[in-house]
Amino acid sequence: MAITEEKLGEILEVYPEKVRVNRRRHIVLKEPDTNAAQQIEANTRTLPGIITNRGCAFAGCKGVVVGPIKDMVHIVHGPVGCAFYTWGARRNKARAGEDGKNYVNYCFSTDMQESDIVFGGEKKLAKLIDETVEIFHPNAISIAATCPVGLIGDDISAVARAAEERHGIQVLAFQCEGYKGVSQSAGHHIANNLLMDKVIGNTEVEKCDEPYAVNLLGEYNIGGDGWEVERILKDIGYHVVCVMTGDGSYEDLRLAHTADLNLVQCHRSINYIAEMLEIKYGTPWLKVNFVGIKSTCDSLRAMAAYFGDKDLMQKTEDVIARETARIQPVIDQYRKVCEGKTAFCFVGGSRGHHYQGLFAEIGVETVLAGYEFAHRDDYEGREVIPSIKKDADSKNIPDLHVEADTKRFKIKIDPERLAKLREKFPFDEYKGMIVDMKEGTIIVDDLNHFETEEFIRLLHPDIVSSGIKDKYVIQKMGIPSKQLHSYDYSGPYAGFNGAVNFARDISMSFATPTWNYIVPPWKNQPLLNATINGD
Ligand code: CFN
Ligand code: HCA
């Protein structure tokens, strides 16, 4: 059943007036294909009292962007709960490199107590750094500030500077107190800025000797996704300089400026570094998506077209032909179980969009999708500077950046020139989620638990893919839930092998007899209406 404006009105009716108006702006009913892009409100403060799935700036900085760097020790300066929250649950996998250093399975925290809040925690932090260096010898250290640290005013930058002098390694202080900004997104930005400022390019090396040198940005190796993507890229002949940051290392990160091209998997979490690399070093970036067979093939072809080398293009086609011939028959089997089913696809800041293509490939249609904390460009699309380096007369890169404002990292390019480049490199655009969704589907920003249940009651999806905070509510409603953050202990789901794993897991969710033992509430209970002020 498609949701009409009237039906939506009924769901939102229980809210007080102000809340209703606010929430309506975060919901889009996809209209028939028109050229006018539909707009959505996003990246604004969550209404107090609404049970949101969002996290905090600390989660976005330490948990998401910085945490996966394996040869660094990441210290959580704060209560042990914050450290525990970012310890392992995200499933960003890592293997030690040649130097044998991998600390991602450890949890380092100052475990602040009441006395530290009263008297300050700087000394405790300095002592922890000393002990860490003595015991673990990491290549660098990060300190992540939690809410109380900002509130009591511990100067973590000063502690970091003094520790750098004592130990001769970089100690990065991330001022990512949880309360900053409106979600994880602020933390991504804080992490991007400091990594760009202090780590990337912090070496004598200027250029990578290998041909087709790329960085993979916004790939965090959840369930091994990054390993599958790297397998494909290496098979074709690419050299991966650095992955940001899944299974990534501090040492590789320093070399990121030496690559020829930046591939951006998760735009939301890392677009800042992609743009800063373009401004500072002239390295263009390409939006890719290695989730789903078609998206993977499209991305590989766009990369080959960027380099414009005939052999590379041929090798790309060979790998695509070999891999698809291998996996398609398997996918087709699973598709028989999944065909005709519908899904909700609500994840953080990019997967709500990225997974829709893969769902479609196994015959599942996404009827509702959204992001926890994405910005408007992730929904509505944005202008992307095309691959400037490949254009014949773009050797003089600074010409393109005449109005580059390095403080705010904004670039202005002559629109005529931009149009010409776009013609040549049509892949270089970031379309956002809304344009890819079908008429009659729903796009919801910062979905909350009340709305999740209401939309489930109305649309009866066959599967809901989201996170741990609503997984069990969904399953108790008799509906399979597939976590698209952690993959429920499975994965990888990216690339060709990932598509097979995903098809297998989703068809298992449908085929399990478990659901015969659970009766969804709308089958034997009247629909509950929320009450306000006891009426
Ligand atoms: S791995 Fe990424 S893909 S980084 Fe981001 S926006 Fe989170 S941790 Mo959870 S699964 Fe999610 Fe994305 Fe980028 Fe992960 S959709 S919410 S902050 N995310
Ligand atoms: C985070 C991390 C998270 C949480 C997942 C979830 C992740 O936002 O702090 O809510 O299920 O992917 O681990 O997004």
Structure confidence at residue 395 (pLDDT) = 39
Structure confidence at residue 404 (pLDDT) = 39
Tell me how far apart the alpha carbons of residues 348 and 433 are, in angstroms, rounded to a whole number: 13
Secondary-structure percent of the chain, ordered helix, strand, coil, rounded to 5: 45, 15, 40
Sign (positive or negative) of CA dihedral 316, 317, 321, 324: positive
DSSP 3-state of 482: coil
Structure confidence at residue 406 (pLDDT) = 40
Q: From edge to edge, which strands make up the β-sheet containing 170-174?
A: 108-109, 72-77, 140-145, 170-174
Tell me how far apart the alpha carbons of residues 14 and 32 are, in angstroms, rounded to a whole number: 29
Atom from ligand 2 closest to the CA of residue 467 = 11
Q: 349: CA distance to ligand 1 center in Å?
A: 6
Asked if 259 and 214 count as a contact pair (C-beta separation under 8 A), the reply is: yes
Residue nearest to atom 7 of ligand 2 (CA): 90
Cβ of 91 below 6 Å from ligand 1: no
CB atoms within 10 A of CB 416: 8
Phi, psi at 120, each rounded to 5°: 95, 150
Tell me how far apart the alpha carbons of residues 276 and 408 are, in angstroms, rounded to a whole number: 10
Structure confidence at residue 398 (pLDDT) = 35
Ligand closest to CA 349: 1
**Nearest CA-CA partner of 83 in 166, 142, 18, 167:** 142
Structure confidence at residue 523 (pLDDT) = 76
pTM of structure: 0.92
Atom from ligand 1 closest to the CA of residue 59 = 17
Sign (positive or negative) of CA dihedral 170, 175, 181, 184: positive
Tell me how far apart the alpha carbons of residues 45 and 468 are, in angstroms, rounded to a whole number: 22
Which residues are 27's β-sheet partners? Answer: 444
Phi, psi at 386, each rounded to 5°: -65, 175
Residue environment code for 355-392, b if the CB has 16+ CB neighbours within 10 A, otherwise e: bbbbbbbbbbebbbbbbbbbbbbbbbbeebbbbbbbbe
Tell me how far apart the alpha carbons of residues 404 and 150 are, in angstroms, rounded to a whole number: 33
- Name the residue with tokens 């990888």: 492
Residue nearest to atom 13 of ligand 2 (CA): 90
Q: How far apart are the first and last CA of the chain?
A: 30
Structure confidence at residue 429 (pLDDT) = 65
Pocket test for ligand 1, best of 268, 446, 490 (most atoms within 8 A of CB): 268
Q: Among all residues, which ones are annotated catalytic?
A: 56, 59, 90, 188
Q: What is the ipTM of this complex?
A: 0.98
Task: Dig out the tokens for 92 from the structure.
Answer: 């960003």
Tell me how far apart the alpha carbons of residues 402 and 383 are, in angstroms, rounded to a whole number: 18
pLDDT beneath 50: ranges in the chain:
387-412, 427, 534-535
Tell me how far apart the alpha carbons of residues 106 and 73 are, in angstroms, rounded to a whole number: 8
Tell me: the pLDDT tens digits for 215-259?
999 999 999 999 999 999 999 999 999 999 999 999 999 999 999
**Nearest CA-CA partner of 36 in 385, 434, 493:** 434
Among left, alpha and beta (phi > 0; psi -120 to 50; other), residue 121 is alpha
Structure confidence at residue 524 (pLDDT) = 77
DSSP 3-state of 76: strand
Structure confidence at residue 442 (pLDDT) = 97
Tell me: the pLDDT tens digits for 300-321?
998 998 888 999 999 999 999 9
Amino acid identity of residue 281, one-letter, is Y
Task: Dig out the tokens for 44 from the structure.
Answer: 């604004």
Task: Dig out the tokens for 416 from the structure.
Answer: 């005529």
Pocket test for ligand 1, best of 347, 353, 379 (most atoms within 8 A of CB): 347
Asked if 464 and 198 count as a contact pair (C-beta separation under 8 A), the reply is: no
Sign (positive or negative) of CA dihedral 210, 211, 217, 222: negative
Cα 409–chain centre separation:
21
Amino acid identity of residue 218, one-letter, is G
Q: 186: CA distance to ligand 1 center in Å?
A: 13
Element at 173 (helix H, strand E): strand 170-174
Atom from ligand 2 closest to the CA of residue 56 = 9
- Name the residue with tokens 């990216």: 494
